[in-house]
């Protein structure tokens, strides 16, 4: 091999990681979009869902709909090199396998999130940044876990959704969700002990569980008035959370996203449970 060919060969080797990382990306989940931005590759995203709104730049990216109204025509027209998606999207987009690389990630729980960050970082040729992001998340959790390791666990009910104006059709977070993992890190424990992922329960069941805290996660989307929420629960003073005014209304969608901001959730929970300790 002559010198010119050698120089060209080594130039290609040098540029290969850059060329690979220049792929056009579509993200079909807000948490995945956040991970890609956190890894410094947000400028490669050419399409995402209507719910992808963080960071601010993510909201300005062309939309392809969401799970219930995914627009395959728009998605195909974008000609992405790689599409990141959850398992629940696969059947909808598998016809694109010959056009784009489909990368399925599943971060229903924290271990799944850790695995997803590694996968996404690997696909985008930013393994070191992925490792740094993981280390940051785990260090945050470790610091909070250290503060709560000798404390009595706070029995908590996490409500994911219900009827807007009634305490009926309540769907709660089970023990397999990432929020359950974060709850335990922050010093809480899920008052629900069953094996259903998102069980539908009654007020009578809540009375029986008698949680220390009730956290309503549905209001951000359903636009339930916070005062109305507390009025609905107010008649059930038999429940410790009601009696101690520990009905918490969450309006920040970070609580619904298993992404790079999960440390914020743990800190907020810790402050909620142990306000006397100040900022986490």
Supply the angle between the helices 178-185 and 262-273 in degrees, to the nearest 10: 50
168 and 245: one domain? yes
151 and 261: one domain? yes
Query: Is pLDDT at 16 greater than 90 in this prediction?
Result: no
Q: If pLDDT is split at 50, 70 and 90, which confidence band does 155 have?
A: very high
In a domain, 116, yes or no: no
258 and 206: one domain? yes
Q: What is the mean pLDDT of residues 98-102?
A: 94
Number of domains in the chain: 2
156 and 210: one domain? yes
Q: Render 159-188 in DSSP notation, one character per residue.
A: EEE--TTSS-SEEE--TTSHHHHHHHHTTE
**What residue numbers bound the domain in which 161 lies?**
147-277
Return the percentage of the chain with pLDDT > 70, whole number: 89
Query: Is pLDDT at 13 greater than 90 in this prediction?
Result: no
Domain boundary residue, one of 86, 105, 124:
105
In a domain, 140, yes or no: no
Please report the pLDDT score of residue 227 as a whole number. Answer: 85
CB of 264 closer than 8 Å to CB of 257:
no
229 and 169: one domain? yes
In a domain, 137, yes or no: no
Please report the pLDDT score of residue 223 as a whole number. Answer: 66
- For residue 240, the Cα-to-chain-centroid distance in whole angstroms is 29
Please report the pLDDT score of residue 234 as a whole number. Answer: 93
210 and 157: one domain? yes
In a domain, 266, yes or no: yes
Domain boundary residue, one of 50, 74, 105:
105
pTM here is 0.88
In a domain, 22, yes or no: yes
Please report the pLDDT score of residue 163 as a whole number. Answer: 86
pLDDT tens digits, residue range 29-70?
Answer: 999 999 999 999 999 999 999 999 999 999 999 999 887 889
Dist CA 32 CA 65 (whole Å): 15
270 and 180: one domain? yes
* CA triple 102-108-141, angle to 5 deg: 120
């Amino acid at each position: 091999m002559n010198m010119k060919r050698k120089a060209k060969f080594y130039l290609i080797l040098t540029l290969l990681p850059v060329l690979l990382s220049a792929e056009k990306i579509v993200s079909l989940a807000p948490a995945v979009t956040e991970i890609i931005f956190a890894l410094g590759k947000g400028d490669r995203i050419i399409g995402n869902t209507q719910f992808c709104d963080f960071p601010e730049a993510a909201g300005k990216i062309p939309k392809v709909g969401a799970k219930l109204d995914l627009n395959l025509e728009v998605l195909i027209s974008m000609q992405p090199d790689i599409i990141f998606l959850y398992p629940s999207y696969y059947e909808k987009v598998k016809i694109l396998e010959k056009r784009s690389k489909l990368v399925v990630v599943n971060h229903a729980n924290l271990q799944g999130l850790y695995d997803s960050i590694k996968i996404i970082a690997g696909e985008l040729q930013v393994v070191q940044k992925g490792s740094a992001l993981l280390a940051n998340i785990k260090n945050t959790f470790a610091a909070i876990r250290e503060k709560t390791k000798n404390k009595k666990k706070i029995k908590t009910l996490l409500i994911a959704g219900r009827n807007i104006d009634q305490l009926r059709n309540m769907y709660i977070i089970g023990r397999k969700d990432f929020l359950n993992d974060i709850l335990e890190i922050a010093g809480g424990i899920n008052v629900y002990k069953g094996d259903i992922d998102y069980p539908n329960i009654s007020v009578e069941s809540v009375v029986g569980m008698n949680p220390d805290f009730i956290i309503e996660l549905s209001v951000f989307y359903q636009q339930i008035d916070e005062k109305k929420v507390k009025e609905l629960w107010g008649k059930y003073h038999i429940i410790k959370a009601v009696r101690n005014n520990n009905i918490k209304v969450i309006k920040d969608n970070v609580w619904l996203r298993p992404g790079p901001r999960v440390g914020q959730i743990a800190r907020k929970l810790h402050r909620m449970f142990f306000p006397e300790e100040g900022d986490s």
